[in-house]
Chain A
Amino acid sequence: MSGAKEKQATAKPAYLANLKLPATGSNVEMEGVNYKIAAPQGVDPSTLFFVQVDKDKCQACGECETHCPTGAIQEMHPDGERGVVDPAACVNCGQCLANCPFGAISEQVSYVGEIFEKLKDPDTIVVSMPAPAVRYGLGECFGMPTGTYVGGKMHAALRRLGFGLVWDNEWTADVTIMEEGTELLERVKKGDKPLPQFTSCCPGWVKFAETFYPDLNAHLSTCRSPIGMLGPLAKTYGSEQSGIKSKKMYTVSIMPCVAKKFEGLRPEMNASGSRDIDATINTRELAWMIKQAGIDFASLPEEQPDPALGMSTGAATIFGTSGGVMEAALRLAYEVLSGNTLANPDIKVVRAHEGIKTADIPVPNFGTVKVAVVSGLQNAAKLCDEVRAGKSPYHFIEVMTCPGGCVNGGGQPLEPEMLQSSLFHSTVAKINRRFNQRRVG
């Protein structure tokens, strides 16, 4: 990997020379969603809107409201059009966006312009940090069937785009298991911090807990999310391993999520001595970048990430689905608590589709570990109320904001039905509007 520096300095991918960069403040449609080109730096993210409604496209159907866990999106205009009332109430999950049948909701923060600038800059080594779930959605943007695994092609595409270090956030999912699993074992054994322990990987959930249940903050695992760990490890450990100075690195978090943009901007995320995460994009934006570069995604070979901060396991990849963090943690906890090897790593009882799932896991030489897995914050609130009332029987609770987990995140490719319906609906709506106007006029 020591050759990465020279390779980066001498050979920039040819597409960069002819690329037209999107202007700051302009709007660009990527994979059916409108994005504002804006790369905030050093801003308090709690003052920013990450999604907002385009009043002219909104048809006041109210679908977004039924998917919003907080009530942040609601009637804001006299004719019933919706809007996000205030950043304080919005957890940036993007579920409103993913479910609007009219494509009326846009993202307000996109770093793609700045990332292309950094890729062009000969003095910057751009570092890729893709989340597990991205590789189960990205292929859909290139016509592949829903859920196709494209991990190897994704790494190849990142290299062709000009990322100088292809590291992978799955590696820190494994680190997270070590840290969060150890924390749980300490809580159980020492009793110094309260149980149940809540997972802290999902930024929508974390903001939700801080906003609506701040009295339960001590129940949240103190672990940063995997991306919160890869940023600082890239600029410290990664710098040691690659021989590239952290000042030259520009770290790009690539997520299935909108709320990760908020997380990347948290002021406390600077443990490496500078910003741990320099930019955050989601799956749709990565697909757009690959298309801008003219890369033929389907014909790419399968490539591995750079190993030191890239090699990962099955336990890491299941972070992308609801129940995955729990199962991965149990694969560790079982072995540590029992002293035995877990022969079959499948712990199917915690695999969750939607809603709340609970399980008692018998661990030899220890006893029973009681766990709950929940996706959807409306469901999480029920468990929070139980904890608040002192009635929660669990040791460990996994929470994900998006139904089914990150694979269904607000930054993933929209499902084809939704895209089609958004086209179909807006056409019908346009016709209706014209029809109504004529009648009135």
Chain B
Amino acid sequence: MKKIGLMSRRGFIKVAGIACGYSVLGFNVTREAFAATLEFVGLRQQSVYNADSKIYSIRKSQDNPMIKKLYAKDGFLHEGPCGHKSHHLLHTHYNDRSAGVKALKAKGVKLAL
């Protein structure tokens, strides 16, 4: 709602018109939708923890036999985690991507950060 001041006139009319549509139909969509979202996320999360404790018979990564095989003495990653081959295949580096947003800000575009 705090954004209304920034809206163009037609944008405002649209929203006002929609609000009017709601009141005609008589239900508070926003509040119901918000409560539903919280419940919705929680339901999926709950299912994850349920599977962790009830469906998966092994619960720690280090106990997975296929992980043990990967890192075994004669295994593909026999140097162990963070070894030379791991570094080549499984690790990475990061870039500085700030130039793009600096350029945008210089053009006058406002961002959240």
Contacts and interface: CB of A to CB of B under 8 A. Distances in A.
Interface of A: 46, 59-62, 65-66, 68-72, 74-75, 78-81, 85-89, 101, 132-133, 136-137, 145-149, 151, 171, 173-175, 177-179, 181-183, 186, 200, 206-207, 209-212, 214, 217, 220, 222-224, 228-229, 232-233, 236-237, 240, 268-269, 271-272, 307-318, 320-322, 324, 328, 331-332, 335, 342, 345-346, 351, 353-354, 378, 381, 403-405, 407-408, 415, 417-418, 421, 424-425, 428-429, 431-433, 435-436
Given A171-B66, A403-B41, A210 B81 contact: no
Of B29, B43, B82, most A-chain CB atoms within 10 Å: B82
A88 B97 contact: yes
B72 interface: no
Contact of B104 (A60, A86, A322): A86
Contacts of A322: 45
A71 B52 contact: no
Contact of B56 (A179, A220, A312, A378): A312
Contacts of B112: 68-71, 378
Contact of A228 (B44, B86, B92): B92
B48 A318 contact: yes
Q: Which 10 A-B pairs have the closest CB atoms?
A: A88-B100, A80-B11, A60-B11, A71-B112, A147-B47, A432-B17, A314-B59, A314-B52, A428-B21, A407-B44
B10 A177 contact: no
Of A46, A173, A183, A417, most B-chain CB atoms within 10 Å: A417
Interface size class on chain B is 35 or more
A61 B22 CA distance: 14
Given A181-B81, A313-B64, A79 B11 contact: yes
A415 B60 contact: no
Interface in B4-57: 4, 6-8, 10-15, 17-18, 20-22, 25, 29, 32-33, 36-38, 40-53, 55-56
Contacts of A429: 14, 17-18, 21
Contact of B41 (A68, A207, A407, A428): A407
B3 A321 contact: no
Contact of A211 (B29, B88, B97): B97
B78 to A, nearest CB: 12
B10 to A, nearest CB: 4
Given A151-B55, A209-B94, A318-B52, A179 B60 contact: no
Given A149-B50, A404-B41, A432-B21, A178 B14 contact: no
A313 B21 CA distance: 50
Interface of B: 3-4, 6-8, 10-15, 17-18, 20-22, 25, 29, 32-33, 36-38, 40-53, 55-56, 58-67, 69-71, 76, 80-82, 86-98, 100-101, 103-104, 109-113
A131 B88 CA distance: 23
A355 B112 CA distance: 18
| Interface residues of A, dominant DSSP | helix
A74 B89 CA distance: 39
Nearest to A207: B97
B104 to A, nearest CB: 6
Given A75-B6, A136-B47, A214-B98, A175 B67 contact: yes
